[in-house]
Amino acid sequence: MKEYVANEKKIVLKMFTFIQNSEFVQVLRLCTFAFFLSFFCACSSSQLLTKKEKKNLHSQIIDSPVFSKSHTGFALYDPAAKEMLYEYDGDKLFTPASNTKIFTLYTALKILGDSIPALRYVQRGNSLIFWGTGDPSLWHPDLPMDDAVEQLLSDTTSQLFYCSDNFMDERYGSGWAWDDYLYSYQVEKSALPVFGNSIYIQKDSASTLTFVTPPYFAYQVNASPNQLRNSPRFKREQFQNTLQLLGTLEENKAFQQTVPFVYSDPILLGILQEKLGRPIELLSAFPKTSSLQKQTIYSIPSDSLYQRMMQESDNFLAEQMLLLCADEMFDTLNTRKIIRYAQKELLADLPDPMRWVDGSGLSRYNLFSPRSIVRLLEKMHEEYPLERILNIFPAGGESGTIQQYYKNTEKPYVFAKTGTLSNRHCLSGYLFTKGGKLLIFSFMHSNYYGSSTPLKEEMDKILWQLHNEH
């Protein structure tokens, strides 16, 4: 027993000697300092919104006479501190409308390169077989011009064959309104779009003539009035491309209208042959041989497509963008397949379950939460230069769908994507405070009656206050 006690005393003495060692004390002091420093920083970051400011923000949202007439979700996040500053129903699911395009953009950023793949082809003896990638830029009036495809198909001495066997999708997205076929916001999807898959009818104020683009449809546009209307417009039947004027085109007034056309392979070939001035034959399936070496032609810079899609909220470009991603990943154009891939491989870390069915947000089947959108915006900020992202997004008071809102400063302080369907409105993006702090936010509203303007004005007040407070 005495020997055991003696040994214990020796052990205690050694421990006391080790503790007195200056190196150990220095490490202990450094650890203690690091702990208190991290604690202080955490406390400091949480003070970006004081308790009083959070209480005021909460009151602004739940007591708002505008928001009280709808279901509202809101999430506000500080990416520097990695802290959710405020949430109100941030985990609830809402119909995102065109906020869906943020998911489409992120998928495209991850999959596509600097330039858009426009066409793929193989040379087989005296034959050139080509097929589409989903690129919507060919002769599109609102996108940069690129003649790479036209030059290839015009200059080759080979016989041309077109195949659409890689298109494994439907003309419309899941849940789209069947009776919106006449409107320019609901254009049919395809493997090789031309002229934005639309007919453009124009008349200037100095002429009585109407100009039709592409000219292929000129003979199908009847500009003779057959019904009185206060404002003239052209109408077509659901599965026909014959356009009939309702009302009268006045001589001294300009007129323009865009109508999606019914897409088919024969119609595509008719447009191509007229434009290129040479015959093109249709292949029902790709030739089955492993010796053919696929080649690719690229068209416009990717960011020019992203910018147009986001700033103008172009549904057609968004849908084609997912088809481009599907082509890049799977050599097939299928929206559901690329969405499943993106959810599993790119978006598995989002906090809430989602339902994502199309690229544009036209479908009311889509469901996302505000905090999932915030997390996606944070991922985008982490993985890509902020300057690039802000250049793609609409800027408050300056560009795109928020040009008339969020414009109280000389330079934009809100960069965000809108989303609007009847009785649905969303706004998600980046907010810069007066002190230069970057915040990420998502507003989602549903089930309100009437115009979305009061909601926009109310959000404007809240975002302006957040800008000024910090």
Residue 74, in any domain of the structure: yes
Instruction: Write the CB contacts of 410 (distance below 8 Å, at least 6 apart in sequence).
Output: none
Residue 18, in any domain of the structure: no
Q: Which residue has the higher pLDDT, 88 or 288?
A: 88
CA–CA separation, 396 and 358 (whole Å): 26
- Reported pTM: 0.89
Is 206 in the same domain as 82?
no
**Cβ-contact 375, 350 below 8 angstroms:** yes
**pLDDT at residue 7 is higher than 80:** no
Is 151 in the same domain as 296?
yes
Taking each helix axis as running N to C, give the angle between helix 2-20 and helix 22-45, from 0 to 180 degrees, rounded to the nearest 10. Answer: 60
Is 219 in the same domain as 78?
no
Is 193 in the same domain as 255?
yes
Residue 148, in any domain of the structure: yes
Task: Look at residues 260, 283, 307 and tell me which one is the last residue of a structural domain.
Answer: 307
Is 82 in the same domain as 180?
no
Q: Which pLDDT tens digit goes with each residue over 320-351?
A: 999 999 999 999 999 999 999 999 999 999 99
**Cβ-contact 261, 197 below 8 angstroms:** yes
Is 52 in the same domain as 168?
no
Q: What is the pLDDT of residue 285?
A: 87
**pLDDT at residue 2 is higher than 80:** no
**Cβ-contact 128, 158 below 8 angstroms:** yes
Residue 101, in any domain of the structure: yes
Return the H-helix or E-strand segment holding 83: strand 83-88
Residue 4, in any domain of the structure: no
CA–CA separation, 257 and 228 (whole Å): 18
**Cβ-contact 462, 60 below 8 angstroms:** yes
Task: Look at residues 307, 339, 369 and tell me which one is the last residue of a structural domain.
Answer: 307
Is 94 in the same domain as 170?
no
Residue 43, in any domain of the structure: no
Strands (E), 284-355: 295-301
Neighbours of 19 (CB within 10 A): 10
Q: What is the pLDDT of residue 28?
A: 42
Looking at residue 283, its amino acid is: L
Q: What is the pLDDT of residue 352?
A: 98
Residue 233, in any domain of the structure: yes
Look up residue 65 and give its two tokens: 């006479």
**Cβ-contact 323, 169 below 8 angstroms:** yes
Q: What is the pLDDT of residue 46?
A: 44
pLDDT band at residue 287 under the 50/70/90 scheme? confident
CA–CA separation, 280 and 142 (whole Å): 27
**Cβ-contact 361, 97 below 8 angstroms:** yes
Q: Which pLDDT tens digit goes with each residue over 232-285?
A: 999 999 999 999 999 988 888 999 999 999 999 999 999 999 999 999 999 988
**Cβ-contact 338, 107 below 8 angstroms:** yes
Is 330 in the same domain as 279?
no
Residue 22, in any domain of the structure: no
What average pLDDT does the segment 431-455 reach?
96
SS3 267: helix
Q: What is the pLDDT of residue 363?
A: 98
Q: What is the pLDDT of residue 19?
A: 39
**pLDDT at residue 131 is higher than 60:** yes
Per-residue CA distances from 410 to 2, 320, 386, 413 (Å):
85, 35, 20, 9
Q: Find the Cα–Cα–Cα–Cα dihedral 193, 197, 202, 208, rounded to 10°.
A: 110
Is 73 in the same domain as 190?
no
Is 318 in the same domain as 187?
no
Task: Look at residues 307, 338, 359 and tell me which one is the last residue of a structural domain.
Answer: 307
Is 135 in the same domain as 239?
yes
Q: What is the pLDDT of residue 8?
A: 45
Q: Which residue has the higher pLDDT, 402 or 207?
A: 402
Instruction: Write the CB contacts of 152 (distance below 8 Å, at least 6 apart in sequence).
Output: 119, 121, 130, 297
CATH code of the domain in which 418 resides: 3.40.710.10
Q: What is the pLDDT of residue 32?
A: 42
What average pLDDT does the segment 348-370 reach?
98
Is 91 in the same domain as 192?
no
CA–CA separation, 202 and 191 (whole Å): 27
348, with CB counted inside 10 A (0-12, 13-18, 19+), is exposed
Domain count for the chain: 2
Look up residue 250 and give its two tokens: 């006045």
Average per-residue pLDDT in the chain?
90
**pLDDT at residue 191 is higher than 70:** yes
Domain that holds residue 87: 48-109+308-469
Look up residue 278 and give its two tokens: 């040479």
**Cβ-contact 107, 306 below 8 angstroms:** no
pLDDT band at residue 184 under the 50/70/90 scheme? very high
**pLDDT at residue 3 is higher than 70:** no
